[in-house]
Amino acid sequence: MQLLIIRNQALSGPNGTFGELFIDGKSFCFTCEQPWNNNLANKSCIPVGDYQLLPYDSPAHGHTIVFHNPKLGIYGTPKMIPAGQQGRSLCEIHNANWPFQVQGCIAVGKEIKDINPNGRGVTSSVATFSALIARWGDRSNLTATIK
């Protein structure tokens, strides 16, 4: 299964990065991330590029996936970062409504809109994340491209 996330520059800015997620070429949902902040761990959206998606059982978010591309300094888990090197890890897809609720991860939702009291975010995130989990099944053979 191939995920494609296309970021929407018109909706993105200093308060967040927003886009649309496609599964095997078909629109599935919308995404919400922190703004670009020089790839700082827990403070920046995930860099543009191609990724292997690895199964991860998150203590906070349950059965999810993590992004992995060592060439971009993104590793699935902290144990995957080679000794003596630096990089980000545990960049997950999970549920959240606003960019400040994700720490270098991607939240998914039904639509992008202003949500009281915190402004632009994604709606119906829990239901959308559950639907995504059902689509990716056993979480094997998953890849993603972020544009």
pLDDT of residue 19: 98
Burial of residue 104 (number of CB atoms within 10 Å: 0-12, 13-18, 19+): buried
Q: What is the pLDDT along the chain (147 residues), one digit of tens a residue?
A: 999 999 999 999 999 999 999 999 999 999 999 999 999 999 999 999 999 999 999 999 999 999 999 999 999 999 999 999 999 999 999 999 999 999 999 999 999 999 999 999 999 999 999 999 999 988 899 999 999
C-beta atoms surrounding 32 within 10 Å: 29
User: pLDDT tens-digit profile of 111-140?
Assistant: 999 999 999 999 999 999 999 999 998 889
Question: Is residue 131 classed as helix, strand or coil in its secondary structure?
Answer: helix
pLDDT at residue 72 in the model: 96
Which domain covers residue 94, as residue numbers? 2-146
Q: How many domains does the chain have?
A: 1
State residue 141's pLDDT score.
92
Rounded CA-CA distance 107/28 in Å is: 13
Q: Which residue has the tokens 């939702």?
A: 109
Give the number of C-alpha atoms closer than 13 A to the C-alpha of residue 29, restricted to the C-beta side: 25
- Detail the DSSP E strand segments found in 91-141: 93-94, 106-109, 112-115, 119-122
Beta bridge partners of 49: 146
